[in-house]
Structure 1
Amino acid sequence: MKFIFVPFVNGLIACAVFAAQAIMPASEASAAEQRQADPVRREGVNLKLEFLQRTGSISSAIYDDSMGVITFRALINGQVVWAVIDTGAEATFVDVKFSKEIGLDVEALSGSIRGLAGEMTRSKITGIELEIPGQFVVREAVFNGTDLSGLSRALNKKTAIIIGRDILNVISFYVDASAKRVVFLPSKSMKFQDTQIVRLPMIDGLLTGTINGVAASMAIDLGASGVLNIRRGVWDRYIPSGTTIDEVTSTDLGGETYTSVFTQGVTLGIGSISSLPAAKQVPDLDANFDAYIGYGFFQGRRTLFDYAAEEILILKD
């Protein structure tokens, strides 16, 4: 299927899903002033991002989703690493051990990061240059640091970076889950005719739809495998009492043992798309929505994610 590329000027495994703010870079502007000046940016984000795509020639990255999430090659300060796209992560995270090995400045911070993957330490890492070859580069970046060794073991790849919403909120990215390719572009750079797409309903960055016929707000979490993850606090709202459930004991990336609750054949409706996935119960990390839609929902599809324009478009076959 053809699409129009608009010319521009350069400028899981429930693996990550960190509920954390981005590290605050030095700035004289308050967070409120930053949001007012540029509502697309997340609080505390000040990225020096340059697109490398050229008009008439679109570069893409081949990715692997054999473990249920998108992993692909990237460069950090010239070193080839594995990266994960995680729309459930509020910020980008870089592995602390790797950062020290290549001589980056790592500052340990108090407190920890709590997400679906468990509890992990946090640091601030400065002097990072992140490049997706042929697509974009972020220079002189300050990102969060944490221990990603558990993620590396889960994915069977030495993973050095989780690309989160501080970056993904200010660009668009096109995922062809059939060809296993991802393309990063400026927001609104790809245009489609209405007859070519299914537009997923989105309000304030969240999908709206139904779970078993009951209205639900849902965050997209490409850092989680599977299709549907429902918060524990609202589980009974969507899953009737007496429903058959399965329980599995697992270990999160922080080393803690937990019990996962599943049920089969839940009716999920988002826009004109209806499916019958299994549903997993997950912790109450964010009360602003009811469920997470994982990468499994998008497997086999071609999807444009453009959070800046509040558009999620699925291309028809």
Structure 2
Amino acid sequence: MIGAALSLVLGAQAAAPVPPRPVAPVVRLPPAAARRPVAYDDVGGLVVFRVRIAGREAWALLDNRAERSFVDLGFARAAGLTIDPRASVRVDAGTALNGQRVEQVAVAVAGQFAVMLPSMTGIDLVPVSRSIGRPIALVVGADFYRRFAVATRPGARTIAFLPNGTVERTARAVDLLDARPRIAITLGGKRMIVTVDTGLSGALILTPAAWARLGIPDTACEDSSFRTGDGRARTGRLCTGPAVSVGPLALPSTRVFIDAVDGANGDGLIGMGLLGLAGGMTLDVSARKLWLVPPGEMVR
């Protein structure tokens, strides 16, 4: 349950406000003819890809539920970035993660974009890196998802950051109910409201109340546990769930982890263990659309 660990450590975080900077991020996009998708690695269902931070090669992780993007403090120090000792950022997810403001961070993805961020929140990402098995220097969070429509193509193993409002003509649109972003799915014939979580490697996490509505006997479940990114143990129930459908995706059954989830997320979370089965996925938070390509149809 690596993804559950990440969603608890990063996606569920609430950060104390950092003193604002008046300068907006400066974004540069290559000409349309020069734009090309970037290869990514599927690490236990999670999307990990190469970026350049302050001119240095690094690994980045997609996690739309991280309320902001994070840079690893150790990487920032090694890259010679300025860390403001006066600006401490509280990352409150019941974890040991603490943050500081890192000034003037240049982030670039080849063939996609280059952005100069006036500041970022720096945290210790070593526990996350340990969970994933890659030295993660950047978590691409909700601020990037507001700026781009983020497209992943599991068949081709590529990622692209597209203009907001891009229409995916080979895909079916699922309406986002809000900016969290929540969507409606059908599980066991019942409508459930769940939050999309690209940092969740599993298929579904449901609250105990949502699972109870399905009326499935306990024999479908077993005790399970995992460790969060900061090493804490978390226990819950792993169950065999009923048929599930979302957009063009329809499965006769799915694995569901039962655990407490912030009520603002609805009945639970839907992760890449389910959404990654689509032929392609584009999350466009600004346009309130989740585009899903039918399974088996590879798009580039």
TM over 0.5: yes
- Cα deviation, 1:143-196, whole Å, max 9, x if unaligned, reads 2221111111111111111000011112112211111000112212x4344xx3
Is 1:309 the counterpart of 2:299 in the alignment? no
The partner residue of 2:175 within 181, 201, 219 is: 201
Q: 1:142 to 1:286 in 2, by over 3 A?
A: farther
Q: How far has the Cα of 1:19 moved from its partner?
A: 2.5
Worse-matched range after superposition: 128-137 or 14-23: 14-23
SS in 2 for 1:50: strand
Alpha-carbon distance between aligned partners in 1 of 2:196 and 2:269, rounded to the nearest angstrom: 6
When the two structures are aligned, how many residues end up with a matched partner? 284
SS in 2 for 1:89: coil
Q: How far has the Cα of 1:121 moved from its partner?
A: 1.9
Q: How far has the Cα of 1:241 moved from its partner?
A: 4.7
Q: 1:151 to 1:27 in 2, by over 3 A?
A: closer
State the match for 2:190 in structure 1.
214
Contact 2:128–2:230 under 8 Å retained in 1? no
Q: How far has the Cα of 1:239 moved from its partner?
A: 5.5
Contact 2:148–2:162 under 8 Å retained in 1? yes
Q: How far has the Cα of 1:274 moved from its partner?
A: 2.1
**Which 5+ residue runs of structure 2 have no aligned equivalent?**
none
Q: How far has the Cα of 1:52 moved from its partner?
A: 2.2
The partner residue of 1:236 within 205, 209, 212 is: 212
Is 1:187 the counterpart of 2:168 in the alignment? no
- Cα deviation, 1:125-148, whole Å, max 9, x if unaligned, reads 222111112211220331222111
Q: 1:122 to 1:282 in 2, by over 3 A?
A: farther
Worse-matched range after superposition: 137-146 or 74-83: 137-146
Contact 2:261–2:268 under 8 Å retained in 1? no
Q: How far has the Cα of 1:25 moved from its partner?
A: 5.2
State the match for 1:226 in structure 2.
202
Q: Give the structure with the higher percent helix.
A: 2
Contact 1:201–1:270 under 8 Å retained in 2? no
SS in 1 for 2:131: helix
State the match for 1:160 in structure 2.
137
Contact 1:232–1:284 under 8 Å retained in 2? no
Worse-matched range after superposition: 254-263 or 18-27: 18-27
State the match for 1:62 in structure 2.
39
**Which 5+ residue runs of structure 1 have no aligned equivalent?**
1-11, 29-45
Alpha-carbon distance between aligned partners in 2 of 1:133 and 1:180, rounded to the nearest angstrom: 15
Calculate the TM-score normalised by the size of structure 1.
0.81
**Aligned-pair identity (%):** 23
Worse-matched range after superposition: 214-223 or 73-82: 214-223
Q: 1:183 to 1:272 in 2, by over 3 A?
A: closer
Calculate the TM-score normalised by the size of structure 2.
0.85
Q: How far has the Cα of 1:237 moved from its partner?
A: 3.1
How much is the aligned-residue C-alpha RMSD, in angstroms?
Answer: 2.4
